[in-house]
Amino acid sequence: AFAKLPDAAGDEIFAVNHAFTIDPHPQKVSLALGVYRTNEGKPWPLPSVRKVEEKLFAENDINRHEYQAIEGDKVFLKLTRDLIFGFNGRTESLAEKQAKRRIASVQTVSGTGANHVGALFLAQHLKPKHVWISNPSWPNHQTIWSLVGVPRKTYPYFNSRTRSFDFCATIDILDSEAQEGDVIVLHACSHNPTGIDPTMEQWIAIADLCEKKGLFPFFDCAYQGFASGCLDEDAWAVRLFFNKQPRMEMCVAQSFSKNFGLYGQRVGAFHLVTNGDSAAVIDLVVQNLCHIIRGEYTMAPRGGSTIVRRILEEDALRKEWQRDLIEMSSRIKAMRRALLNELRILNTPGNWDHIINQSGMFSYTGLTLKQVLALKDRHHVYMVKSGRASISGLTESNVLRVARAIDDVVRT
Ligand code: LMR
């Protein structure tokens, strides 16, 4: 029955990561997978996370492995909703109460799960003619939307000549070709893979266009706290759309893999925003999301989400977590500067300023496929074929080696 299966494209990011893992070279460097690494090149369980893990272990709660509700942990959902939409958990004005009533939230299997549950829900209930995905984008966006059968189109995000967001081309194509009810996937901050986000003015224009054309904004938020180091600043675009008048329908897929360093724990949330504030509509949305979740995997896991909840609900831990975030984003920024500096000292042909102008975990280096392959073959430096480099793979002790490797492949 399976002899004539079509070729299923393997996932490039994890394939490159595997090739790196099995490479025995002692000085290999991975700039492939978007994960945080310390200056020693090691994974970093966040100190705030470690503290909660110790507490949980000491508490020895007998319920810790029990099922949770299909929609997930309600306290976790409120806290994560407040984190992205900017509600202050304590004081609650009438306007805030009403704003919260617009949002239906469910817990998901991290960002991929949130994107998928949201895509499936919209495919069934919004029935968009197309989904618009930036070119380039996180490759999994294409996979996720192809699995739910919504025809995909791309908007031309990156201008390789100017190495910037191609705002005019994006607006032009959406204005002329997008149809009412189409979904547009937007990266809330730290665009993956380019590291380039729209400016505030550009975001305002995109929001206006969505309103004018009746497009449905689908935010993917995997890096809150990583772009600027400031949680509120990184949520600016989402909040702009959320607070827009007249109210828009929209949604947010939220991942906690990067900002809590909980990659393998699969912690995430999906928030669907309605334009009314009817509790009955929210109930219906949650019911339908739960129908999908129950059929697919019953509920998201509770281990990682308990950690996130405990950090977000306790002041001291939350402050400590914010310091952890700053530590991660600052080290990445320092490594961007160090790489640029080494390339300048080596007089590497070309302009490399974009390395420090881009933000978040990645730099879109501009290296060609041939150069990326040469980096791996000649220097054991791994990145994905688009030339995206995960900057946190750089350390004080390997940055010169990486700069020399780039210099070599650029010159030959
Ligand atoms: C990446 O883009 O490298 C990360 O988001 C990991 C992933 O899931 O692809």
Distance between Cα 33 and ligand 1 center (Å): 6
Q: Mean of the pLDDT values across residues 372-397?
A: 96
Q: For 126-141, what is the mean pLDDT?
A: 97
Q: What is the pLDDT of residue 95?
A: 86
Taking the CB of residue 286, how many other CB atoms lie within 10 A of it?
18
pTM: predicted TM-score of the whole model, two decimal places: 0.96
Express the helix, strand and coil content of the chain in percent, nearest 5 each: 50, 15, 40
- Does 389 sit in the ligand 1 pocket, CB within 6 Å? no
CB 255 within 8 A of CB 114: yes
Atom 1 of ligand 1: nearest residue by CA position: 34
Is there an atom of ligand 1 within 6 Å of 304 CB? no
Phi, psi of 183, deg, nearest 5: -95, 140
Based on its alpha-carbon atoms, the radius of gyration of the chain, rounded to whole angstroms, reads: 21
Indicate if ligand 1 lies below 6 Å from the C-beta of 263.
no
Structure ipTM: 0.94
220 assigned to active site: yes
| DSSP, res 5 | P
State the pLDDT confidence band at 290, using cuts at 50, 70 and 90. Answer: very high
Residue 9 pLDDT > 80: no
Share of the chain above pLDDT 70, in %: 100
| Residue 350 main-chain phi, psi, to 5 deg | 105, 170
pLDDT for res 277: 82
pLDDT at 92: 77
- Residue 34 CA to ligand 1 center (angstroms) comes to 5
In the chain, where the domains are located: 12-44+330-411, 74-313
Which helix (DSSP H) or strand (DSSP E) does residue 183 occupy?
A: strand 183-187
Dist CA 301 CA 157 (whole Å): 34
Per-residue model confidence (pLDDT) at position 44: 97
> What atom of ligand 1 comes closest to residue 257's alpha carbon?
5
- Confidence check: pLDDT of 129 > 80: yes
Q: Take atom 4 of ligand 1 and give the residue whose Cα is closest.
A: 34
pLDDT digits (tens, 9 = 90+) for 297-355: 999 999 999 999 999 999 999 999 999 999 999 999 999 999 999 999 999 999 999 99
**Looking at ligand 1, which residue's alpha carbon is closest to its atom 9?**
13
Predicted local distance difference test score (pLDDT) of residue 10: 83
Query: Which among 73, 182, 197, 220 is annotated as catalytic?
Result: 220
Mutate which of 12, 13, 116 for ligand 1? The one with the most ligand atoms within 8 Å of its CB, which is: 13
- Domain 74-313 classified CATH 3.40.50.300? no
CATH 3.90.1150.10, domain 12-44+330-411, yes or no = yes
Alpha helices in 133-263 (DSSP H): 139-147, 167-177, 200-213, 231-234, 236-243
The residues near 59 (Cβ < 8 Å, ≥ 6 apart) are none
- Summarised one tens digit per residue, pLDDT across range 68-98 is 999 999 999 999 999 999 998 677 788 888 8
